[in-house]
Each structure stands twice: as C-alpha cells, then as structure tokens.
Amino acid sequence: MRAAIIRAHGGLDAINIESVDDPKRAPGEVLVRVKALALNHMDLWARKGLPGFKFPLPLIPGCDMAGVVVEGEGVTPGTEVIIAPGYSCGRCEVCNSGRDNLCKRYGIFGEHRNGGCAELVVVPRENLVPKPARLSWAEAAAYPLTFLTAWHMLVARANIRPGQTVLIHAAGSGVSSAALQIARLHGAQIFATAGGADKCARALSMGAEAAYDTRTDVDWSKAVFEATGKVGVDVVIDHVGKAFFEGSIRALRPGGSFVTCGATSGSDVSVELRRVFFKNLSILGSTMGSRGELFELTRLVADGRLEPMVDRTFPLEAIREAHAALEGRDVFGKIVVLMDPD
C-alpha cells in the first residue's frame, strides 16, 4: 500500500510517500480501506518532534479517518465507517465505566501507533463508528477528533448550560470551530478570538456575539470584559496556551472555568493564585473524550445539527503541501487528505 511515513523528525521533507507492506490485523482488529484523513496539529508534532515525548518511529501519522471495512471478525465488509481516534484496553475499571479516554493504556492513532495516512489501516473493532450517510468522505474525516475534543471540553468538563457566556480562542481551528457550534447548540452566548478579519467574520457568521482579531485587538480580554457588562465570561475554551492564558484568566467572571486541551504557543504559564481562589475559578484540563461521547455527537452530525467544516482537500501525494497549509494557519476548519480523489 501507499503510506506517508515519518522516519526521523524534521521539516516538510521528513514526511514521504512510500510503498510499504499492508498491515496485518490481530484478533479483535479490523482492516479498513481509508478514504479520507483529516490533519491535526498532532500530525505536525509527529513530524517535527515534541520535547518530552518519544514517537515510535518510523510512524504512519494520522488519527482522523473515514473509510470502508475490508475484513474482520463480526463486521460486514463494505460497511462505511469513521474511526474513533483514541483506543484503550477496553477491560479496566475506567473503560467499563465509559471513561475510556482516562485509561492508563489510552493511545491515539498516529501518535502511539501507526495511523491512517495510508491506503489501509488496522484498528480495534470497538473503534468503528457508522459513517453518517449524508456526509462526504472529507466531511466524515473532518469531525471525530475536533468535535470529540470540543464536546468533552464544553459538555463534560465545563458543564455548559443555556444562557452562559463562552469565550472561544482561535476560532478558525478545527477544535474551536467545532466548539462554536457546540456552544451555540447549547444556547450559550459566544465571544471569539481569531487571527485575521476574515476568520473573525466567519466566527460571527457562525453565531458569535463578537469576535476579536488577535493581530490587531491587543487588549481583547478587556474588550470581552466590557462586552459582558464588566462581569466576565462563564467559560474560556483554549488550546493556544501561554500567549492567551493570563488574558483568559482576567476575562473570567467569579466562579468561571478555564478549560484547556493544548498549548500551541507554549505550556509554561504562571498564575496568580489569589485571583484563582478569590474569584473561585476552575482551571480544567481536557484530553479527547470517550467513545460514548463520539456516538452521541455523531447522532447530532447525522441529524445536521452539527456540521463538519472542511477548509480544503489534498491528494496523498501532496501530503507536504497539506502539512504546510496547516502549519501556516491560513485555515478555517480542517485540512483533509483524500486517498482516492476520484
């Protein structure tokens, strides 16, 4: 099969298309022909390397996959599926209580084992989710990780409720564009930040009350505070990290929650603890979400209440160009690689 391979960390030339042996499935696993794969920042980290984390090189990256079942026990060949991007042992206490994303053996395709930037992939049978029939292959690949991450942040961690105010950073990203839809679905009042006037306009068209261009609106936290009647927001959704952390804490109302799932601008933040305990703030970490949550939001996608957002597509042969597009941040929604563009 053809696959994108990372054999050593580096720049765009560190990822190459090669012909490799087809993967062999073990008991309980299913062979899937990949039709589309959405890129995430994790794919950039796998290529460039991440301090403190050892990727199992050589590695086929990619965790957001959609495709067709080829073979496997208890499955019907030809079934169209999406793949839950994370996997677990399936046997421990947390797995059996529906919290598989907290399993000690939890892993993500394309990070801990080979992923789906290839024509074929092997996954546990439990990771198969029926593909909503109304979606194209690109749309089907564009929502699992980002919507699952955003859903877990807003629903499971922040316990979002109608009428609350939410500040969503980096609105053009996959996770944040999903969070915009999920917050709107739950009746929240939304404020957003984004890098550029075009992205701010898109955020407004998706239901944001106001959107602040972080390239020009330097004091966005003050603007958010003023826009909420000098009260602050109930929830901040962030994966930018260091660059936005202090402003986010200032923008929260008493009793508010800061929820983070990443730190693309750096993770070494400092916090004034007096502000945290005097304002009764919560700082919450969030990683991925459970398979049960993925099934729940898939029903909403199938009903058209949530919409995957595809910025543009690339063929597998243009994987370097796809990486460059994501790395350049000139994106609203997802970059998707099509294995069979025809």
Residue 235's Cβ-side half-sphere holds a number of Cα atoms within 13 Å equal to 27
Exposed/middle/buried for residue 34 (C-beta within 10 Å: 0-12, 13-18, 19+): buried
Q: Give strand pairing partners of 337.
A: 37, 314
- Which tokens is 289 given? 């979400």
pLDDT of residue 331: 82
pLDDT of residue 341: 61
CA distances 189 to 150, 204, 236, 309, Å, are: 16, 12, 12, 21
Q: Report the 10 Å Cβ neighbour count for 244.
A: 25
Q: What is the pLDDT of residues 227-256, one digit of tens each?
A: 999 999 999 999 999 989 999 999 999 999
Q: What is the pLDDT of residues 46-80, one digit of tens each?
A: 999 988 889 999 999 999 999 999 999 999 999 99
> What H or E segment, with its residue span, contains residue 181?
helix 174-185
- Which tokens is 297 given? 């939001």
pLDDT of residue 266: 84
Cα–Cα distance, 200 to 211 (Å, whole number): 5
| Low-confidence stretches of the chain (pLDDT beneath 50) | none
The DSSP output letter for 334 is: E
pLDDT of residue 50: 86
Best CA proximity match to 177, nearest among 210, 215, 205: 205
pLDDT of residue 342: 55
pLDDT of residue 199: 93
- Which tokens is 176 given? 């944040």
Cα–Cα distance, 151 to 287 (Å, whole number): 11
Cα–Cα distance, 238 to 279 (Å, whole number): 19
Domains, the chain, ranges and CATH? Answer: 2-142+308-338 (3.90.180.10), 147-285 (3.40.50.720)
The DSSP output letter for 126 is: G
